[in-house]
Copies of this chain bind each other. A is one copy, B any other.
Amino acid sequence: MKQIAGGVTAAAGFEAAAVAAEIKYKNRNDMALIYSTHPCMVAGTFTTNVVKAAPVMWDKQLVETAPFVQAVVVNSGIANACTGQQGLDICQKEAQKAGELLGLPENAVLVASTGVIGMQMPLDRVCTGIEKLVAAKAPGLEAGLAAAKAIMTTDTVHKEIAVEFQVAGKTATMGGMCKGSGMIHPNMCTMLGFITTDVNISKEMLQKALSRDVVDSFNMISVDGDTSTNDTLLVMANGLAGNEEIIAEGADYDAFCEALHFITTYLAKKMAGDGEGATCLFETQVVGAATKEDARILAKSVICSSLTKAAIFGHDANWGRILCALGYSGAKFDPENVDLYFKSVSGEIQIFGNGVACAYSEEEASKILADPEVTVLVDMHMGNEEATAWGCDLSYDYVKINADYRS
């Protein structure tokens, strides 16, 4: 497997487009289209929030029942959440419109929205946007890049990645893009994410691979603990790599899962590091846990702690807050046996062990915490299970962004 340039248009047969439709933003692209020249198997995971946005309901139904899909229409600016029957009708009209223009049934067109909750979508501008998208769709990396930028809200960087790998003697490609910066606490997964591949894989195995993967990728990140109404992650596979269809576990399935995990982990970390107001990616690795679930719970508790996140922002080695966050996570352990380390490109130091602080240098610790990627390593000394979670620091800008997001 090797990383290559591009994103959702890297795999054979995938095209994209981005246009300015003035859904809510002015003077920028705010709608995107992903299109496959051939029918795709699709798998998806969606928000666990009881309050589900209309596009989430539309896509869930399609992922469960549609024989194939071939396009996704995405907009930023308005989330089409808490919009009642009118919001659901809009989704259907978006799919109808795109379907008509692309020669597809409406149940082959997925939709996704991100932005302000509660506002109704302007149907006329959405439809005009879809007309422009279909006219503009094109293969190639530029089109994919434009799409990755059009779906951004408070994101400061676009997020895309692609890899090439071998499946059953054929060269296959997988690419993805996502957006997400605030309301990020996936379960599953506060974000919009789209992954495309030319691998030939059955719907059942595609969904299985995705559902397993998100537990240790997108579900291990958090920016602010708020699980969105719109979280959507879709994987589309059109089979153009020409490999024999993957219909069971085995070497081909493993190769597929490896590529998928590379893509999802990259995108998840990108999202965490671009959390609203973030100045760094804040990673917590838990090793030596009694169970895998404990490892996940402990790692997530640390990256979710507001106090710890604020200390990281201040480059303050306030490790007591980390121990505190481990302590209220819900996992059982003996604090006397925990070892804590700070790590970054600048070095690694132990800060806690045998129940008390180590004799570390505050200056060295602050230097580590000033790096753009900061890792807390926690050894629980209770077993062999591990997990890693990703978040970001808590800065003034998080407050600034969210005190007036709507205006």
Contacts and interface: CB of A to CB of B under 8 A. Distances in A.
A337 to B, nearest CB: 12
Interface stretch (A105-113, A192-200, A226-234): A226-234
A331 B319 CA distance: 34
Contacts of A81: 320, 324
Interface in A320-363: 320-321, 323-329, 331-333, 335-336, 352, 354-357
A271 interface: no
Interface residues of A, number: 69
A243 interface: no
A230 B324 CA distance: 10
A49 interface: yes
Nearest to A309: B402
Contacts of A327: 49-52, 227, 229
Contacts of A329: 50
Given A352-B82, A394-B399, A402-B311, A321 B117 contact: yes
Contacts of A14: none
A183 B403 contact: no
A305 interface: yes
Nearest to A306: B224
A171 interface: no
Contact of A84 (B49, B52, B79, B355): B355
Given A48-B328, A310-B403, A320 B225 contact: no
Contacts of A25: none
A356 B86 contact: yes
Interface string A77-93: 00101111110000000
A225 to B, nearest CB: 6
A22 interface: no
Interface in A114-145: 116-119
Interface string A133-168: 000000000000000000000000000000000000
Contacts of A82: 320, 323, 335, 352, 355-357
A164 B113 CA distance: 57
B402 A399 contact: no
A35 interface: no
Interface string A224-253: 111111000000000000000000000000
A398 B335 contact: no
A400 interface: yes
A3 interface: no
14 contacts: A49-B324, A50-B326, A50-B328, A50-B335, A82-B357, A117-B318, A118-B356, A187-B328, A224-B307, A226-B307, A227-B328, A310-B402, A316-B405, A398-B399
Interface of A: 48-52, 79, 81-86, 116-119, 182-183, 185, 187, 224-229, 304-307, 310-311, 313-314, 316, 318-321, 323-329, 331-333, 335-336, 352, 354-357, 394-396, 398-407
